[in-house]
Structure 1
Amino acid sequence: MSEVLQIVLVSLAVLALLGVVLEDIIHINKAKITLFLGTFSWFLLYVFHSGTPEEAEAVAIGFEENVAEIASLWLFLVAAMTFVAYLNNKGMIENVIHLFLPSRVKERSLLFLTAIFCFIFSSLADNITATLVSVTLILSLNLSTKKTIRFATLVVFAVNSGGVSLITGDVTTLMIFLDGKVNILDLLMLSLPAFSAVMVLALLLSRGLNETVEIDIRHNEVRPVDLMIAGAFLCTIITTIVANVLFGIPPVLMFLLGMASMFLIARFFDSDEKEEQKILEYIRVIEFETLLFFLGILLLVGMLKEIEVLDAIVQMYEVLPPSIANFLMGVLSSAIDNVPLTAALLKAGIVMTEAEWLGLTYAVGVGGSLLVIGSAAGIVAMSKVDGLTFGSYARYSMVLLLVYSLGYIASIGLAQVVLGS
């Protein structure tokens, strides 16, 4: 492969990264940029490789492997997001929130309740949905701008923390699991240090919150079929864990089975034929923009692996102990989207113990919370909350770095004790 082609391909990857970081400035959707540059880079790789039959075959095999990995991730996310889209549309998520909230509550208590809800809900739903639901609740309280920003900061950190211990909660956790670096049961260990870090942050942010808040409690009508579909979602999560541990069944298969069960439940237990037809429409209302962004990013990372430029990442792990390198990768994920960063680390062939991979899972999952642009949760919150800007969020960066560091130290410590490595 020519040096000129390598330079061009690396330049396209850098251009894509800049497009993600500067999305709010250039006003071009990051999904459009990454998808175009990701597909275009593989096109160039096919056309302008050295021309030998061996290299042509290697490019073809590399692309097929890349697409197979992306397809597994895509299908899993489609199934999980379809479940959540249905339950959210039927008001069941809102019902659960209002079920545990009193009509009058102190701001300090509400902050802790918000942290707990965000942590638990983001373990089951994708980060974008969890953030949207939580931010909507906060905005309905009509708090001052300063207090709203404080709540929103907690939401971003709690949502990202909740997703690290279950494959349903965070894409990077799912990616590390699908690559065989960690197993489902050991991932659950991360919930304890992650939750502890969230509670510490809530404690630090609760200073000065002494007023009482009035909450408008509403309950949406829930039909029996909606409860059955909610039960199917929970059963899907549980059986996914059990089936993987006992039989090694891929999570994507179990979630596709769960989604198919959801469709059949709506068909046979709902007498409204019009409603039955609408059940398939929920696939169309999920965040396809996010899925297309993942597609473009993973194509770019696959291309970088193919031209062997990911070795530079490995060099950090050759110079520093994995525990320190993983911590720095988490900090780096606050500036570089954690999906391409995680994909690059997985493609680079880094050798670590399972305890160290668990530490990396926490780092890249939570580290994006250090800056508001470092995670999907932060971007969503910034787009919905007036006054939440890069600067206003950055005021809490040192506090966030502190609790991130505490959570990371606790996660690797617990993993080493339990796994003995």
Structure 2
Amino acid sequence: MEHTLDLTHTWVGWGVLIIFVLGYILIATEEKWDMNKAKPALFIGTFSFMLIGVYYYVNSLDISPLHHQLKELIEEIAEIFFFLFVAMTYIESLIERGVFDALRYRLISRGYSYKKLFWITGSLAFWISPVADNLTTALILSTVLYTIDKTRTNFLVPGAINIVVAANAGGAWSPFGDITTLMAWTAGKGEIIDFLALFPASFLGWFLTAWLLGLFVPKGEPHFDVLTTPKGEIKKGGKVVIFLGFFTIFIAVFGHIVMHYPAMWGMMFGLSLLQLYAYYHKRKHKEQFNVFINMAKVENDTLLFFFGILSAVGALSFLGWLVYVVNLYDIVGDTVANIGVGFVSAIIDNVPVMAAILKADPQMGPDQWMLVTLTAGIGGSLISFGSAAGVGVMGRMRGIYTFNSHMKYGWAVLAGYVLSCAIWYVQFEMLGLY
């Protein structure tokens, strides 16, 4: 059932918008108030729909459209929620098996400088995310970064931003590297070759941001003493968990593309494989390997933040506020509007913004659809919680990678965003190379 009521200028429309803005301010200033971002996000998301329900009841409106919206929203949230949950469980299992400690030892024992480690983690994020998706990639590499040195914030913050930007940029030129690119691809807005044509804009935009951030990375190397530094070794079964992790990502992508399953279904199947292997490992090696214990270590605040923020955006969409985003096309034209989508997606969330644009279906050529795919994908990097990758890293590096620490270097991210858009214009509009 299609929802057609425009409730933006009713008391519930303005009320939900004000609640969203106030909640957004609390999320952005979580350090000042010492309040975890999940708390205001969960409140504004759930309370917004409670208010909408009251409005429908008071005005004796047909409640069916609201029920339909909630069911669709629950499905959307569940896909992301369980995808995140499995990815985090695998990461905690890898930590428990000593995989990241072993990787850390290898990196610092070779005498790599902070700057080289900065470039290694960023480069890996860019090249892995087109295959493994930006969220999983950012979670894994931020964990690697954090295990290298947990105290040098002047290394960790630029490194975390670099990973987030690289993961989002890497996902933008792959049809299944990001949720928004996947949405555009499955909607038939471009062929695989069209998405691959975004590589120059994605790569050079990230490279400029990384180069600017690299100027602030300290010189020297992480402390390493062969006698005092614990030699990280992968425990029994650790390599099997690594294989299962990559296999789980493959199954999730394969199932989504070939059988059109939600990506979380493949992830949950991968979780079942991990559980079965843990049971086999315990029986064979008589060693404790309990996946449920690893689940308990998952950052639940990150999961609840996603639930809240997607619910809040869903409420804004239901009331009609996201229509104004689409109206940009009639006012300023396709190119300017699509570039502006990047800034909007950083504030609101790229998934519902892209969904709103696809639903409105403005008449655009493949070049413009590739631009909005690019900007929606990399625009989330402009703010720390503007993308799934950023939210994941905030949870992984709590108290270090925050809204404020990200915005300190926001100008570097903006420079890369502008360059990506400029390269798109030269390549697609001036040269027609796509």
1:109–1:57 Cα change, 3 Å: closer
Residue ranges of structure 2 left out of the alignment (5+ in a row) = none
The answer to whether the 8 Å contact 2:342/2:376 transfers is yes
Q: How many residues align?
A: 410
Does 1:249 pair with 2:249?
A: no
Distance 1:23 1:206 in 2: 27
CA-CA distance at 1:90 after TM superposition: 2.2
Distance 1:253 1:118 in 2: 24
CA-CA distance at 1:66 after TM superposition: 1.4
Q: Secondary structure at the match of 1:55?
A: coil
Residue ranges of structure 1 left out of the alignment (5+ in a row) = none
The superposition leaves residues 183-229 of structure 1 with CA deviations (integer Å, 9 ceiling, x where unpaired) of: 88876665664333333344445569896536638652224522112
RMSD: 4.1
The aligned counterpart of 2:306 is 294
Which residue identity does 1:247 align to in structure 2? M
Q: Secondary structure at the match of 2:62?
A: helix
Distance 2:341 2:118 in 1: 29
Distance 1:404 1:357 in 2: 17
Does 1:213 pair with 2:225?
A: no
Question: Which of 401, 404, 414 matches 1:401?
Answer: 414
The answer to whether the 8 Å contact 2:125/2:141 transfers is yes
Distance 2:235 2:374 in 1: 38
CA-CA distance at 1:264 after TM superposition: 1.0
The answer to whether the 8 Å contact 2:213/2:409 transfers is no
CA-CA distance at 1:231 after TM superposition: 0.7
The aligned counterpart of 2:294 is 282
How is 1:5-404 mapped onto 2 (pairs within 5 angstroms)?
5-49=12-56, 55-96=62-103, 98-99=105-106, 103-105=110-112, 109-120=116-127, 124=132, 125=136, 127-128=138-139, 130-137=141-148, 139=150, 151=159, 153-164=161-172, 193-205=201-213, 213=221, 216=224, 219-270=231-282, 271-272=284-285, 275-276=288-289, 278-334=290-346, 336=347, 339=349, 342-347=351-356, 349-351=359-361, 356-370=368-382, 375-376=390-391, 379=394, 383-384=399-400, 390=404, 396-404=409-417
TM-score by length of 1: 0.78
Q: Secondary structure at the match of 2:288?
A: helix
Distance 2:43 2:218 in 1: 50
1:240–1:180 Cα change, 3 Å: farther
Overall identity of the aligned pairs, in %? 23
Q: Secondary structure at the match of 1:249?
A: coil
1:304–1:155 Cα change, 3 Å: closer
CA-CA distance at 1:139 after TM superposition: 5.0
TM-score by length of 2: 0.76
1:134–1:28 Cα change, 3 Å: same
Which residue identity does 1:265 align to in structure 2? Y
CA-CA distance at 1:121 after TM superposition: 5.8
Q: Secondary structure at the match of 1:309?
A: coil
Which residue identity does 2:360 align to in structure 1? I
Distance 1:275 1:414 in 2: 55
1:281–1:153 Cα change, 3 Å: closer
CA-CA distance at 1:354 after TM superposition: 5.9
